[in-house]
Structure 1
Amino acid sequence: MSSNRPSLSAKLDGLRSSAIRDLLKLTSRAEIISLAGGLPDAALMPSARIAEAAAKALTDTAVLQYTESPGWAPLRAVLAERESARIGRAVALDEVFVTHGSQQALSLLAEVLLDPGALVVVEDPAYVGALQVFRAAGARLVTVPLDAEGMRVDVLRELLARGERPAVVHTVSNFHNPGGVTMSSHRRRELAELADAYGFWVIEDDPYGELWFDAAPPEPVAAHSRTVIRLSSASKIIAPTLRVGWMTAPESVCRAVELLKQGADLCGSALTQQIAAELLADDAWLTAHVDTVRATYRTRAEALVRAVRATFGDSLSCTDASGGMFVWASFTDGTDTSALLARALEEGVAYVPGAAFTVDSAYTHSMRMCFTTADAPVLERAVNRLARAHARARVVSGQSTQL
């Protein structure tokens, strides 16, 4: 009998599991306060309203059947109206495509837009899910740094001037994951102008845009160019369990994605799409619901940032959370966050080291913290635990423990 075994695809050779998903396996213990997972708070999810919409949907047996590959038409109509208002121009029904969460849209787009070796520009630090998708597609990744105004579009312009020709530029424009920053209005316009001038696609990944605290973010990049593909989701404003994401793109892109989706899963769930359609179309209810989520997250974000600054002083800098779900923090005293994590877990707190979000840069001293799933006192305890872990690490390294 031959000892040869069937092989797996060579494309798997360069892939690695998400450090965040791996970390979640370690933080499931009740005694761990997790700032690691990018999870919305289940206590804020409208279970009763979802149940009501589900019961209503189930009165029609059609929701038990397959639906159209681009998504249930009434949901796409609701989304077209929402996206038209957001972008500031009419979005046609054929320019809206519903996917199994926005991550599936990103995966399908990589297959549609990229050949192996194609150049993709990503932000630095970068969204982990995007890195996984683009690596699986065999793309060549080049990074552009972030600052307080989001993607450094001037650095992208320099790359283009040197002759680089990306097929895709990916950006999380609002309340960046993991960077916590929002792209300024003038950079959005400039990015769109570069896309038109050089002929590349922009994927504007926007799952957090409605989770603003003080003011809504600027108009989308898509407001300035038809070469921008917008992704969004019901996961962060209603519930991830619906697995309803969507893409707004030129009809030609939607049709190409449809061909691939038919080969992947034929279509999404008519039931969850009908539930999502009812909830997203109920403007009065949705506005009140999202206002509650925003207010709760704002209180928690402020508590986390306040505790970090009061406890660590100048030794740990962090972003001001103006929306979204994350704070990006960096030690200024040389602390290695990957090395610190083991002691943090021993003290009962978890975060994601900055190394999880890298292509080129090490981000050895940085970390991402999520504030959505714990109230202010718990977040303060989490920071105190982190401080104890940090103090232990400083003792081992022979450095001062004063903060």
Structure 2
Amino acid sequence: MSATFPPLARRLDGLQSSAIRDLLKLTSRADIIGLAGGLPDAELMPRDRIAAAADAALSDRSRLQYTESPGWGPLREVLAVRESGRLGRAVAVEEIFVTHGSQQALSLLSEVLLDPGALVIVEDPAYVGALQVFRAAGARIVAVPLDSEGMRLDALRTLLEAGERPAVVHTVSNFHNPGGVTLAPQRRRELANLAERYGFWIIEDDPYGELWFERPSPAPVATYSPNVIRLSSASKILAPTLRAGWMIAPAPVCRAVELLKQGADLCGSALTQQITAELLADTDWLAGHVDTVREVYGARAGALVGAMRARFGDRIVSTDPAGGMFVWVDFTDGTDTAALLPRALDAGVAYVPGNAFAVSTDYTRSMRLCFTTSDAATLTEAVDRLAKAHGGV
């Protein structure tokens, strides 16, 4: 007998699973070189240091309890010090809110800042996790394009001057996912000025800002305006399993997020927050660890881009990563990357077609490649396999 269930909420209408998450299910085979997932390299994660911090936390049974909804107090204090250094001003503990990864902060903020039908402006190509959140909130989404200096503010100004009034503008300011570019300093100041002039919130999504290769990331957008809510995470510099993200926002926003988090999960994990606090507070160790990650990722980024240009020549145009985890590639020869993907999988390599990140632009001839989880020789082999799938370039 087949069951007939009551209907689900209408907010689910039109929602789609992440194409990247779905692709990862297909690319878990050992014979496929994965350039699709945005995963940090597990071999670079400080397993022994995490284990020692976990052992220290477990030595005190009182630390096995629930913690405060805004996060474990000592972690918020550590984060306040770190973010004060990034923003060039004193950040109060009351402005720090710890979440289950920065994606949860984005989800909770969508409930705090957006009524159904509210306008959200995103970058195109867009971060898939943001699109999922804003669509679930019932927002009206409008995209502005990227160029080599990040979000094109001339396009944003055109929308604003035409009368559009966003509730939120979302930007992945450093080493964009998927575009690989960084918002230029002058544009950061201008974006902040526009937020104050037109009365919208900026969500500055910055999980990659510490993964620069040659020069530090520019000052955060949050440096320039109180209208900026800044998100960051330990996932890319320590380990995703800690699920330690945080939000820096005005106290009223933090209080509103707290009300929703209490209803969602009461609080985060006191254990993983204690581990995160210990590792982030050990600044000398952390600096050396992150330097190692930067050096390795920088070499891999160079290897991947070099291999792509050597094999495909003027058939492609790609970004030159200055940090982060991704390369964005455009084919100039008409290649349909979604149509190419099955052949690439057969050849033993995976990537994400550009249309997975599209909002209003056709990215049929684009792809996102992640360079973090393979060494230079494996990345070169991946490009060789991609070239074979493409037609023996």
Bin for the TM-score computed over the shorter chain: over 0.9
Partner of 1:284: 284
CA positional deviation for 1:60: 1.1
Q: Does 1:311 align with 2:305?
A: no
Q: Distance in 1 between matches of 2:371 and 2:147?
A: 21
Structure 1 residue aligned with 2:176:
176
* Correspondence for 1:329: 329
- How far is the alpha carbon of 1:4 from its aligned partner? 5.4
Correspondence 1:2-401 to 2 at 5 A: 5-391=5-391
Q: In structure 1, what is the Cα distance between the partners aligned to 2:40 and 2:316?
A: 25
Once residues 129 and 63 of structure 2 are traced to their aligned partners in structure 1, the CA distance between those partners, rounded to angstroms, is: 30
Q: Deviations over 1:76-104 (max 9, x none)?
A: 00001101100111110000000000000
Return closer, same or farther for 1:274/1:347 CA change in 2, 3 Å cut-off: same
Q: Any idea what the Cα deviations from partners look like across 1:179-231, whole Å, max 9, x if unmatched?
A: 00000000000000000000000000000000000001110000000000000
CA distance in 1, matches of 2:320, 2:183: 14
Hey, what's the Cα distance between the residues in 2 that align with 1:155 and 1:87?
27
RMSD: 1.1
* Aligned-partner Cα distance in 2 for 1:23–1:80: 37
Once residues 256 and 316 of structure 2 are traced to their aligned partners in structure 1, the CA distance between those partners, rounded to angstroms, is 46
Aligned pairs, number: 393
Q: d(CA) in 2 for partners of 1:2 and 1:327?
A: 47
Distance 2:309 2:63 in 1: 51
Deviation at 1:14, TM superposition (A): 1.3
Provide the C-alpha distance between the structure 1 equivalents of 2:22 and 2:229, rounded to a whole number of angstroms: 30
Q: Which runs of 4+ in 1 moved over 3 A?
A: 1-4
TM-score, structure 1 as length reference: 0.96
Residue identity in the other structure for 1:191: L
The DSSP-based 3-state class of the residue aligned with 2:222 is helix
Q: Which amino acid aligns with 2:292?
A: T
CA distance in 2, matches of 1:207, 1:341: 28
5+ residue gaps, structure 1:
392-400
In 1, distance between residues paired with 2:373 and 2:213? 16
Structure-2 separation of matches of 1:253 and 1:359: 28
State how far apart, in whole Å, the 2-side matches of 1:62 and 1:250 are: 31
> Hey, what's the Cα distance between the residues in 1 that align with 2:229 and 2:251?
11
Q: Which amino acid is the alignment partner of residue 275 of structure 1? A: I
Q: Which residue of 2 aligns with 1:396?
A: none
SS in 2 for 1:99: strand
CA positional deviation for 1:59? 1.0
Deviation (angstroms), 1:316: 1.1
In 2: Cα distance, 1:273 partner to 1:314 partner? 48
Shift in alpha-carbon separation, 1:52–1:3, aligned structure 2, 3 A? closer
Alpha-carbon displacement from aligned partner over 1:226-249 (angstroms, at most 9, x marks no partner):
000000000000000000000000
- Deviation digits for residues 142-182 of structure 1 (CA, Å, limit 9, x no counterpart): 00100000000111011000000000000000000000000
Q: Identity rate of aligned residues, in percent?
A: 74
For 2:60 and 2:162, locate their aligned partners in 1 and report how far apart those are by CA, in whole Å.
58
Q: What CA distance in whole angstroms lies between the structure 1 residues aligned with 2:354 and 2:135? A: 19
Matched letter for residue 69 of structure 2: S
**In structure 1, C-alpha distance between the alignment counterparts of 2:17 and 2:115, rounded to whole Å:** 23
**DSSP-derived class of the 1:238 partner:** coil
Q: Distance in 2 between matches of 1:199 and 1:81?
A: 29
Structure 2 equivalent of residue 397 of structure 1:
none
Output the CA distance in 2 between the equivalents of 1:157 and 1:24.
38
Gaps of 5+ in 2: none
One-letter code aligned to 2:132:
Q
- Tell me what 1:394 maps to: none
Q: Equivalents in 1 of 2:193, 2:16: separation in Å? A: 35
Flag the 1:2–1:24 CA change in 2: closer, same or farther, 3 A: closer
Output the TM-score relative to the length of structure 2: 0.99
Distance 1:167 1:259 in 2: 20
Secondary structure, aligned partner of 2:13:
helix
- SS of the residue 1:14 aligns to: coil
* Alpha-carbon distance in structure 2 between the residues aligned to 1:194 and 1:347: 48
Q: How many Å separate the matches in 1 of 2:315 and 2:3?
A: 57
**TM-superposed deviation, 1:62:** 1.9
Quick one: distance in 1 between partners of 2:4 and 2:237?
Answer: 50
What secondary structure, in the 3-state scheme, does the structure 2 residue paired with 1:230 have?
Answer: strand
How far does residue 5 in structure 1 lie from its aligned partner after superposition? 2.7
Residue 324 of structure 2 aligns with an amino acid whose one-letter code is G
Q: CA deviation at 1:2?
A: 12
